[in-house]
């Protein structure tokens, strides 16, 4: 889904707002970092020749206070912490993961900061020299505007960190930090009490007590060196408004929901509706689709309506039906999640293969329901389940049914 949002953002927003001209892509490489993925979708090739894949170890310091920044990092996972330091005191002011980048001073025309940046969860990343990034920014207005917008989001996050540090109690600050970490790491967080105390700038005993409070409310479960988020909604309530605004701004400016970029969150999966009782086989069939969010893209109104009703009867949550790629993208941005897509390949004369690529990249199960024979489909797309119309939910159930090993 995230890849689809990138595509939509490019097509409907950046193309007019940033005056992006179609250019060649340096390659078909895909990225797990949100900014690099957006850059790729915008067909900006100024960065790619200069990117180097690296691995960052726990507690590695990649920026030092008041010293020139040599490299800028785009993480694919893990956590980077931006720390304000003074004498023997420190506190985290910003958190960076797969959505962002380090080295904001480079974007703003400086070469250093009084802050430090430290790896708090090991990660893979792409890095670029500060000099190469400056050159790329000078050569590409769309790149500069995209990364400047991210810098704006980072400053909003810093503002909320100041609000939390100045006005919130430890429990509220901890709830916020756990939510931000969950956005970037998933439900299971490899965090110790010592690390949390360091990040929040409080005593370890205070963190331990706050963790106990959250656990007693059944919001988290703790074990040695691990914290499992079990109730994201409750954790948001515990944060009392300190979480959400920077994340909403990131989505507004990039089209990417930060909490789902590449990280499957158990708390975001829709609950399956009750399944009607019946034969074992029919119940098994219903279970396959129950609660699954199925996008129906079909330009024949009668077929689309019949298929949607059939899927809904089996417990699926139907998105659409929609009859064009543009309408499909709009439906996805409004739904927030998609599990399966049933696609007609020819949508009002427009072939849906770009949509297939984006769905596949986002991990969505793609099924073709088309009038095209398989031999008319390019080799690259013949791996997807293919059914000739008219198509019904029984075909989809069969396509999804686990096969014996």
DSSP string, 134-185: HHHHHH-HHHHHHHHHHHHHHHHHHHHHHHHHHH--HHHHHHHHHHHHHHHH
Positive or negative CA dihedral for 389, 392, 395, 400? positive
pLDDT reading at 367 higher than 90: no
Indicate the pTM of the whole model: 0.60
Positive or negative CA dihedral for 338, 339, 340, 345? positive
102/323: higher pLDDT: 102
In order of their start, the domains of the chain are 19-142 (2.60.120.10), 165-260 (1.10.10.10), 280-400 (3.40.50.2300)
Q: How close are the terminal C-alpha atoms of the chain, in Å?
A: 29
The model's pLDDT over 368-384, given as tens digits with 9 standing for 90+, comes to 888 777 778 888 888 88
The model's pLDDT over 11-29, given as tens digits with 9 standing for 90+, comes to 433 333 333 233 333 345 6
* pLDDT at res. 112: 96
Q: Which residues contact 183 (CB under 8 A, 6 or more apart)?
A: 97, 99, 247, 258, 259, 263
Mean pLDDT of 362-368: 84
Smallest CA-to-CA distance from 18 within 6, 9, 27, 26 is with 9
pLDDT reading at 262 higher than 50: no
Mean pLDDT of 330-349: 76
* pLDDT at res. 5: 40
Mean pLDDT of 308-324: 77
pLDDT reading at 85 higher than 70: yes
Q: What is the mean pLDDT of the chain?
A: 79
Do residues 367 and 376 make contact, with C-beta atoms less than 8 angstroms apart?
no
* Virtual torsion, Cα 51, 12, 4, 302, nearest 10 deg: -160
Do residues 118 and 62 make contact, with C-beta atoms less than 8 angstroms apart?
yes
Structure tokens at 22: 């179609």
The model's pLDDT over 88-117, given as tens digits with 9 standing for 90+, comes to 788 889 999 999 999 999 999 999 999 999
> Percent of the chain scored above 70 by pLDDT?
78
Confidence category of residue 39, pLDDT binned at 50, 70, 90 = confident
Most confident of 69-78, 343-352, 356-365: 69-78
pLDDT reading at 306 higher than 90: no
pLDDT reading at 391 higher than 90: no
Mean pLDDT of 272-294: 53
* pLDDT at res. 86: 85
DSSP string, 372-399: S-GGGS-GGGTTS-EEESS--HHHHHHH
For residue 148, how many other CB atoms are within 10 A of its CB?
Answer: 14
**Which of the residue ranges 144-148, 235-239, 281-285, 399-403 would you say has the lowest mean pLDDT?**
281-285
Q: Which residues contact 380 (CB under 8 A, 6 or more apart)?
A: none
6/238: higher pLDDT: 238
Mean pLDDT of 339-360: 82
Q: Give the 3-state secondary structure of residue 400.
A: helix
234/398: higher pLDDT: 234
Q: Which residues contact 81 (CB under 8 A, 6 or more apart)?
A: 92, 94, 95, 96, 117, 118, 119, 120, 199
């Amino acid at each position: 889904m995230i890849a689809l949002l990138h595509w939509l953002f490019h097509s409907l927003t950046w193309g007019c707002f940033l005056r992006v001209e179609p250019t060649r892509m340096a390659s078909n490489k895909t990225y797990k970092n949100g900014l690099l993925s957006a850059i790729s979708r915008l067909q900006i090739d100024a960065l790619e020749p200069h990117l180097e894949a690296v691995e960052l170890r726990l507690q590695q310091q990649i920026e030092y206070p008041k010293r020139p920044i040599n490299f800028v990092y785009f993480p694919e996972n893990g956590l980077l912490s931006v720390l304000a330091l003074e004498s023997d005191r420190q506190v985290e002011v910003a958190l960076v993961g797969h959505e962002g980048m380090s080295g904001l001073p480079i974007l703003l025309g400086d070469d250093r900061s009084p802050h430090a940046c430290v790896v708090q969860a090991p990660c893979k990343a792409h890095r670029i020299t500060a000099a190469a990034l400056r050159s790329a920014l000078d050569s590409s207005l769309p790149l500069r505007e995209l990364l400047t917008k991210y810098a704006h989001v980072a400053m909003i996050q810093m503002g909320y960190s100041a609000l939390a540090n100045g006005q919130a109690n430890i429990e509220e600050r901890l709830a916020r930090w756990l939510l931000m970490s969950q956005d970037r790491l998933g439900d299971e967080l490899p965090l110790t009490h010592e690390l949390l105390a360091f990040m929040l700038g409080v005593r370890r005993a205070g963190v331990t007590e706050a963790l106990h409070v959250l656990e007693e409310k059944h919001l988290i479960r703790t074990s040695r060196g691990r914290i499992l988020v079990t109730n994201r909604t409750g954790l948001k309530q515990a944060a009392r408004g300190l979480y959400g605004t920077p994340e909403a701004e990131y989505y507004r400016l990039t089209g990417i929901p930060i909490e789902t970029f590449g990280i499957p969150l158990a708390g975001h999966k829709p609950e399956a509706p009750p399944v009607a009782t019946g034969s074992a086989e029919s119940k098994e069939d219903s279970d396959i689709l129950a609660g699954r969010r199925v996008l129906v893209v079909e330009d024949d109104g009668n077929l689309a309506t019949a298929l949607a009703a059939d899927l809904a009867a089996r417990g699926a949550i139907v998105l659409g039906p929609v009859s064009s790629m543009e309408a499909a993208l709009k439906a996805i941005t409004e739904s927030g999640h998609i599990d399966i897509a049933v696609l007609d390949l020819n949508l009002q004369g427009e072939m849906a293969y770009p949509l297939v690529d984006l769905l596949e990249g986002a991990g969505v199960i793609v099924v073709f329901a088309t009038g095209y024979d398989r031999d008319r489909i390019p080799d690259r797309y013949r791996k997807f389940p293919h059914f000739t119309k008219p198509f019904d939910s029984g075909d989809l159930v069969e396509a999804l049914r686990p096969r014996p090993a």
